[in-house]
């Protein structure tokens, strides 16, 4: 196995190369899903702040001696990565076949698997360790909020990454967006983390220690005797900027354009497009990687992407209301949406999650906005999973009653 055959030199190299490290970790991760009943954690221990930053700094110091021999001449092995160094997630991709989108899954792997099955991309003959991709050249977009409110967050990240790897062999792909709950966790705000998810973080931290050695034992809480402190410390080590799972999230887009469809967790405003969507993606990636955000442009980009609860990309609810209060509110929202899409070359529609839709996936503004967070996680409302399928100019809602390949009968189609 990887654990027994990786040499000390290889471990050091992997620890110093974040992308290789995280991908190897995900690839060899065992089944982590283990449902443990428990409510949301609200203890002050779960609020990261300065404690999180100090913890990650400690993690870097422990790894520094292992990285010294591979550092570039004159470089400081304890320095954070420089903003602008990349690699960065994509802004535009092309899909040759279907495009399928699913909303917020919030740590519920059972519902996530049901949604992927409805979408026609997850086979029934696989298991949690070796899922079967049956989607061919389909491109799947999950619009963010994998984290919080459920116990199996990391297991879902692993599932989606394994499906992405299998999909690539067939010309397809699986993309995950960053949502506001990914931002909360990287910020050290764990108020929506369940007890089961804390325990999953602890198990994953232990897996990293087994895979890469004892240098990370303390960083992931391995030396803590108090179970609660151990769980929180593991979570901080994994998700704080520069931590292994934060770096994994840094590889995900905040805004993604697939053919003529724009995807964002909360919403997009004209000022986001005018400023530059790629700048927003890159700023979030740099922040999650642990880079210092020092330039005024990068700070502005980060604020537009994740900062303001009112109108940043991950928090915006301008288009998410299932029922507008008045026709005037609807008209103003549709006008803003039109200006946003008209400013993006070739864009016909925007797809968002973030705001649960009690009536299921639905469209507004003549089909230019699709809202697909149906609250499927049992940490939200436990609604029946629904996804949307885009083929050419047609958009359909797929459900357990009308899954992929069932024809158009019973499906909703609005252009």
Catalytic residues: 181
**Residue 142's beta-bridge partner residues?**
102, 176
**Residue 364's beta-bridge partner residues?**
369
CA–CA separation, 353 vs 356, rounded Å? 7
Query: 227 is written with which tokens?
Result: 């179970």
Give the residue from 177, 91, 174 showing the smallest Cα distance to 136.
174
For residue 44, the 8-state DSSP code is G
**Sign of the C-alpha dihedral, residues 163, 166, 170, 172?**
positive
CA–CA separation, 395 vs 42, rounded Å? 40
Asked if residue 385 lies in contact with residue 400, where contact means CB atoms within 8 angstroms, the answer is yes
CA–CA separation, 132 vs 126, rounded Å? 5
Tell me the HSE value of 44 on the side-chain side, using a 13 A CA sphere: 1
Query: 249 is written with which tokens?
Result: 């999230």
List the end-to-end C-alpha distance of the chain, in Å, as a whole number.
Answer: 51
For residue 321, the 8-state DSSP code is -
Query: 12 is written with which tokens?
Result: 């050091």
Work out the number of other CB atoms within 10 angstroms of the CB of residue 366: 12
**Residue 351's beta-bridge partner residues?**
263, 370
Query: 87 is written with which tokens?
Result: 């690699």
Asked if residue 204 lies in contact with residue 156, where contact means CB atoms within 8 angstroms, the answer is no
For the beta sheet containing 173-176, the strands, ordered from the edge strand earlier in sequence to the opposite edge, are 173-176, 139-142, 99-102, 387-391, 394-398
**Sign of the C-alpha dihedral, residues 232, 238, 242, 246?**
negative
Query: 172 is written with which tokens?
Result: 């397809």
Buried b (16+ CB within 10 A) or exposed e, 262-301: bbbbbbbbbebbebebbbbbbbbbbbbbbbebeeeebeeb
């Amino acid at each position: 196995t990887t654990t027994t055959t990786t040499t000390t030199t290889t471990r050091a190299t992997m620890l110093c190369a974040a992308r290789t490290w995280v991908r190897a970790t995900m690839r060899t991760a065992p089944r982590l899903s283990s449902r443990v009943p428990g409510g949301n954690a609200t203890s002050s221990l779960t609020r990261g702040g300065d404690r999180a930053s100090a913890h990650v700094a400690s993690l870097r110091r422990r790894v520094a001696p292992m990285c010294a021999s591979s550092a570039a001449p004159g470089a400081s092995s304890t320095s954070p990565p420089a903003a602008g160094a990349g690699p960065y997630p994509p802004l535009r991709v092309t899909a040759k076949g279907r495009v399928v989108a699913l909303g917020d899954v919030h740590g519920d792997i059972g519902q996530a698997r049901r949604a992927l099955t409805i979408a026609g991309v997850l086979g029934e003959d696989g298991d949690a360790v070796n899922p079967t991709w049956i989607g061919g050249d389909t491109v799947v977009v999950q619009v963010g909020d994998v984290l919080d409110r459920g116990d199996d967050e990391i297991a879902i990240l692993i599932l989606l990454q394994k499906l992405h790897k299998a999909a690539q062999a067939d010309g397809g792909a699986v993309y995950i967006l960053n949502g506001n709950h990914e931002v909360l966790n990287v910020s050290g705000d764990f108020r929506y983390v369940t007890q089961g998810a804390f325990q999953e973080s602890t198990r994953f931290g232990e897996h990293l220690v087994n895979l890469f050695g004892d240098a990370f034992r303390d960083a992931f809480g391995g030396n803590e005797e108090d179970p609660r402190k151990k769980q929180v410390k593991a979570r901080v080590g994994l998700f704080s900027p520069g931590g292994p799972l934060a770096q994994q999230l840094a590889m995900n887009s905040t805004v993604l354009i697939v053919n003529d469809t724009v995807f964002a967790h909360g919403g997009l405003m004209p000022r986001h497009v005018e400023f530059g969507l790629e700048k927003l993606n890159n700023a979030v990636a740099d922040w999650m990687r642990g880079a210092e955000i020092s330039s005024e442009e990068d700070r502005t980009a980060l604020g537009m992407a994740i900062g303001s609860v009112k109108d940043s990309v991950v928090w915006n609810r301008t288009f998410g209301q299932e029922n507008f209060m008045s026709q005037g509110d609807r008209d103003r929202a549709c006008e803003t949406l039109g200006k946003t899409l008209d400013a993006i070359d070739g864009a016909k529609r925007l797809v968002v999650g973030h705001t649960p839709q009690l009536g299921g996936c639905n469209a507004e503004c003549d089909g230019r906005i699709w809202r697909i967070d149906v609250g499927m996680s049992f940490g939200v409302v436990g609604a029946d999973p629904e996804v949307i399928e885009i083929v050419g100019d047609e958009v359909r809602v797929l459900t357990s009653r009308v899954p992929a390949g069932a024809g158009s009968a019973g499906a909703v189609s609005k252009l």
